[in-house]
């Protein structure tokens, strides 16, 4: 037990030097942006980048947890789509329904996550295949609920996405930071948090030491489902309505910040702070590319190259260590 | 559904018979039994399902997926995964529209498209073997890069035409057998011989089954792995051409969903994600089941959305049956 905890803390500190790479890239990106345009380094632009990072931040927070256990959640996109449709569909413009519906969909997302985790634990099938399957099911249910944008939300529902503290600091993005810090604390200082690393680092050893690995797995997929649902509520707040493909791009997009932030797909190494930096890196990168007048098409190319670059760097580190 | 064929042996009282006779048969041929059963049941519910037209229709839908799933099976056999196949398919289809659109260019189109597939496979293979990048991320990255290049090249919407030659390959038939199905079976037979009868195939199984053993017996597992990704890329490019001929219209997303469908079909067909286990015939049967399910839902007059839901259920159930058997 002690050994596992020591190991995991060693990995955590290894993760911190990984943070330096991402921070370095953020600084480089900032300098490039500032050189490119006078409007880049203004508080206005940077606050916008901050505001726009919220959606990606929520979903990748949950994804980090599943990847830390050596799994992955490919159903988040479908969960976002279904929950987004239910949010605007059930509220349907009625202010009195906002609170109950938001609570309901957050619980629903969590329950879908619990089912994902249970399916992983019970069947023993690789999470990639399990969540691919459950993702297809959830997407099908979303399409049964409606084939296009469904329902509407009250006007002030956009506070979550567009509200600003003192007219400057985005509320949604700040909530995201708070949640990242909360999860970071849980991972770092609670027993359950250490178990997440232990299960991901060596599932066999975790089982031998009688760690509650089944509960840990169900827990991380439940968290992933919850954060996917939260992303959905955010997106409805931002766009005013949910439609059956609201979350389609988020499944793969949620993985990029995680791996760029230094969390290994093999599990057991990395952490949420790296992911948060990864989210900011992706957001800042898109912003800089906009200033460079790079077409949105080439932005994809750059994103793909960043993934290759990032994973190559981290692999190199592992070999040296 | 799977349980229809799997249930009886659980109720049987003679356990020895079950374990020595029935289980091996189910393990090896369960997927084929299920395919036959699915076709029979669907035919009983809706006779039109087994009509000549509908079977020909399903075979035409099967051809592109069948070709991709064989490549996917090769990659999974060596413990890999290829998420870039759909992106390769779309890119190959866009390549097909980037020439004059006349039959005179058909050979160049094939050459250019297959080259794109081979190049992508080579990059995937090199990233996985030489840079030790996880297959999931390596192929995810090439998928995104290809998509971006495609968008930039076409400025969002491809405009050219597919040479009529591909149109006739994609939709024409030879004495009632669609051309693209003939191509699929030729590809399947050739690659089945390569996999199950050649030294290369044997090396693939050893590499996927146990890389350490592979190294000890002097197999360059890097080279075998790269070859698997290259074969997969080339097949995906070919499938993209066939699909563009079948659909007739090319957009930037030809083959959308094929990356997941091909993985699912391969896994359903008994290709183990842990590597070293699986056959070409099994993978094809997995693909056929996906096509049968999609088609049956439409023929039964059920809501099309059920396609996705049933597919999801079948994936998880089928995959879990394989896991339990291996224990």
Per-residue model confidence as pLDDT tens digits over B133-169: 889 889 988 998 998 888 888 877 777 778 888 888 8
Task: Give the pLDDT band of residue A164 (cuts 50, 70, 90).
Answer: very high
The pLDDT score that the predictor gives to residue B251 is: 76
How far is the C-alpha of A177 from the C-alpha of A51, rounded, in Å?
A: 11
Preferred mutation among B84, B252, B305 to probe A, highest tally of A CBs within 10 A = B305
The pLDDT score that the predictor gives to residue A5 is: 52
pLDDT at A30 over 80: yes
| Domains in chain A, number | 1
Determine, for residues B308 and A143 on separate chains, whether the beta-carbon distance falls below 8 Å. Answer: yes
CB nearest B151 (choices: A122, A144, A300): A300
Report how far apart, in Å, the C-alpha atoms of A194 and of each of A118, A189, A200, B46, B266 are: 21, 7, 10, 55, 36
Task: Give the pLDDT band of residue A216 (cuts 50, 70, 90).
Answer: very high
Shortest distance, CA A256 to any CA of chain B (angstroms): 9
3 state DSSP class of A242: strand
Nearest residue of A to residue B305, measured between CA atoms: A140
Q: CATH number for the domain including A128?
A: 1.10.3470
Q: Kindly give the residue spans of alpha helices, DSSP state H, lying in A92-212.
A: 98-123, 127-145, 159-162, 171-189, 191-201, 203-208
The residues, any chain, with a CB within 8 Å of residue B256's CB and separated by 6 or more, are: B86, B90
β-sheet bridge partners, residue A242 = A150
- What kind and span of H or E run contains B313? helix B305-326
Residue closest to A285 by CA, chosen among A314, A253, A311: A253
Task: Give the pLDDT band of residue A2 (cuts 50, 70, 90).
Answer: low
* Other Cβ atoms closer than 10 A to B267: 28
The pLDDT score that the predictor gives to residue A157 is: 93
Q: Are strands B173-174 and B177-178 parallel, antiparallel or unpaired?
A: antiparallel
Nearest residue of B to residue A298, measured between CA atoms: B148
Residue closest to A238 by CA, chosen among A26, A35, A43, A51: A51
How far is the C-alpha of B57 from the C-alpha of B170, rounded, in Å?
A: 11
Q: Are strands A164-165 and A169-170 parallel, antiparallel or unpaired?
A: antiparallel
Task: Give the pLDDT band of residue A101 (cuts 50, 70, 90).
Answer: very high
Q: What is the 3-state secondary structure (H, E, C) of A20-67?
A: HHHHHHHHHHHHHHHHHCCCCCCHHHHHHHHHHCHHHHHHHHHHHHHH
The residues, any chain, with a CB within 8 Å of residue B37's CB and separated by 6 or more, are: B4, B5
Nearest residue of B to residue A311, measured between CA atoms: B133
The pLDDT score that the predictor gives to residue A14 is: 47
Determine, for residues A308 and B143 on separate chains, whether the beta-carbon distance falls below 8 Å. Answer: no
Just give the CATH number of B48-326.
Answer: 1.10.3470
CB nearest B140 (choices: A126, A129, A307): A307
The pLDDT score that the predictor gives to residue A57 is: 97
Whether A266 has its CB under 8 Å from any CB of chain B: the answer is yes
The pLDDT score that the predictor gives to residue B148 is: 87
The pLDDT score that the predictor gives to residue B11 is: 46
Q: What is the mean pLDDT of chain A?
A: 88
The pLDDT score that the predictor gives to residue B14 is: 54
Show residues of chain A in contact with B144, CB under 8 Å.
252, 300-301, 303-304, 307
User: Taking a C-beta distance cutoff of 8 angstroms, is the pair A59, A228 a contact?
Assistant: yes
How far is the C-alpha of B80 from the C-alpha of B286, rounded, in Å?
A: 18
Report how far apart, in Å, the C-alpha atoms of A279 and of each of A177, A224, A301, B317 are: 11, 16, 17, 35
Where is pLDDT greater, at A9 or B57? Answer: B57
Q: Which residues of chain B have pLDDT under 50?
A: 1-12, 325-327
Q: How far apart are the first and last CA of chain B?
A: 22
The pLDDT score that the predictor gives to residue A318 is: 46
Task: Give the pLDDT band of residue A316 (cuts 50, 70, 90).
Answer: very low
The pLDDT score that the predictor gives to residue B8 is: 44
Sorted by where each begins, the domain ranges of chain B are: 48-326
The pLDDT score that the predictor gives to residue B223 is: 93
Whether A61 has its CB under 8 Å from any CB of chain B: the answer is no
Determine, for residues A305 and B141 on separate chains, whether the beta-carbon distance falls below 8 Å. Answer: yes
β-sheet bridge partners, residue B178 = B173
Domain span at residue A100? Answer: 2-320
For the packed helices B221-247 and B164-171, what is the interaxial angle rounded to 10 degrees?
A: 90
The pLDDT score that the predictor gives to residue B57 is: 86
Report how far apart, in Å, the C-alpha atoms of B162 and of each of B27, B93, B116, B244 are: 43, 8, 17, 7
CB nearest A123 (choices: B131, B307, B316): B316
pLDDT at A242 over 50: yes
The pLDDT score that the predictor gives to residue A203 is: 82
Size of interface A-B (CB pairs under 8 A): 136
Nearest residue of A to residue B303, measured between CA atoms: A144
Preferred mutation among A252, A256, A300, A306 to probe B, highest tally of B CBs within 10 A = A300
How far is the C-alpha of B142 from the C-alpha of B75, rounded, in Å?
A: 15
The residues, any chain, with a CB within 8 Å of residue A228's CB and separated by 6 or more, are: A58, A59, A62, A73, A75, A76, A79, A80, A83, A109, A113, A247, A250
Show residues of chain B in contact with A265, CB under 8 Å.
134, 136-137
Determine, for residues A301 and B143 on separate chains, whether the beta-carbon distance falls below 8 Å. Answer: no
């Amino acid at each position: 037990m002690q050994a596992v905890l020591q190991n995991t803390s060693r990995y955590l500190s290894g993760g911190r030097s990984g943070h330096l790479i991402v921070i370095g890239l953020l600084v480089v990106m900032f300098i490039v942006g500032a050189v490119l345009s006078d409007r880049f380094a203004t508080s206005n632009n940077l606050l916008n980048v901050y505001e726009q990072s919220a959606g990606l931040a929520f979903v990748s927070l949950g994804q980090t947890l599943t990847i830390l256990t050596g799994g992955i959640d490919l159903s988040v996109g479908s969960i976002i789509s279904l929950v987004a449709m239910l949010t605007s569909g059930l509220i349907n413009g009625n202010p009195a329904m906002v609170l109950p519906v938001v609570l309901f969909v957050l619980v629903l997302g969590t329950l879908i996550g619990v089912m994902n985790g249970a399916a992983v634990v019970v069947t023993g099938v690789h999470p990639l295949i399990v969540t691919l399957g459950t993702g297809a099911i959830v997407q099908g249910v979303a399409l049964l609920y409606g084939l296009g944008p469904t329902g509407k939300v009250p006007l002030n529902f956009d506070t979550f996405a567009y509200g600003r503290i003192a007219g400057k600091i985005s509320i949604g993005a700040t909530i995201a930071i708070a949640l990242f810090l909360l999860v970071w604390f849980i991972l770092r200082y609670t027993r359950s948090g250490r178990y997440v690393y232990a299960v991901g680092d060596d599932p066999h050893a975790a089982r031998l030491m009688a760690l509650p690995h089944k509960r840990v797995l169900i827990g991380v997929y439940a968290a992933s489902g919850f954060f996917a649902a939260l992303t959905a509520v955010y997106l409805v707040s931002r766009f005013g309505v949910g439609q059956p493909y609201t979350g389609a791009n988020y499944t793969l997009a949620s993985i990029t910040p995680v791996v760029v932030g230094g969390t290994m797909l093999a599990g057991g190494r990395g952490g949420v702070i790296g992911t948060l930096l990864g989210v900011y890196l992706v957001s800042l990168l898109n912003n800089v590319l906009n200033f460079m007048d790079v077409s949105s098409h080439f932005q994809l190319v750059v994103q793909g190259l960043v993934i290759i670059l990032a994973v190559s760097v981290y692999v190199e580190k592992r070999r040296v260590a | 559904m799977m349980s229809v064929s799997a249930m009886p042996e659980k109720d049987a009282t003679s356990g020895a018979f079950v374990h020595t006779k029935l289980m091996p048969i189910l393990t090896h041929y369960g997927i084929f039994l299920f395919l036959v059963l699915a076709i029979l049941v669907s035919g009983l519910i809706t006779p039109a399902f087994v009509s000549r037209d509908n079977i020909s229709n399903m075979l035409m839908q099967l051809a592109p997926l069948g070709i991709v799933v064989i490549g996917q099976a090769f990659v999974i056999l060596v413990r890999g995964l290829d998420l870039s196949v759909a992106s390769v398919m779309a890119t190959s289809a866009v390549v097909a529209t980037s020439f004059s659109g006349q039959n005179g260019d058909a050979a160049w189109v094939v050459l250019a498209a297959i080259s794109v597939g081979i190049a992508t496979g080579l990059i995937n293979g090199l990233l996985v073997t030489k840079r030790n990048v996880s297959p999931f991320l390596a192929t995810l990255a090439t998928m995104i890069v290809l998509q971006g290049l495609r968008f930039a090249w076409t400025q969002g919407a491809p405009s050219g035409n597919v040479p009529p030659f591909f149109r006739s390959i994609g939709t024409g038939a030879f004495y009632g057998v669609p051309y693209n199905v003939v191509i699929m079976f030729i590809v399947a037979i050739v690659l089945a011989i390569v996999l199950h009868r050649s030294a290369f195939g044997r090396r693939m199984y050893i590499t996927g089954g146990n890389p350490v053993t592979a190294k000890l017996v002097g197999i360059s597992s890097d080279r075998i792995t790269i070859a698997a990704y290259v074969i997969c890329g080339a097949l995906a490019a070919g499938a993209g051409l066939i699909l563009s001929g079948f659909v007739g219209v090319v957009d930037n997303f030809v083959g959308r969903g094929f990356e997941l469908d091909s993985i699912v079909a391969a896994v359903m067909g008994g290709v183990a994600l842990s590597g070293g286990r699986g056959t070409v015939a099994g993978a094809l049967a997995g693909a056929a089941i996906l096509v049968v399910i999609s088609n049956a839902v439409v023929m039964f007059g059920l809501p099309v959305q059920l396609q996705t839901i049933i597919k999801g259920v079948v994936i998880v159930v089928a995959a879990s049956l394989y896991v339990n058997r291996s224990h």
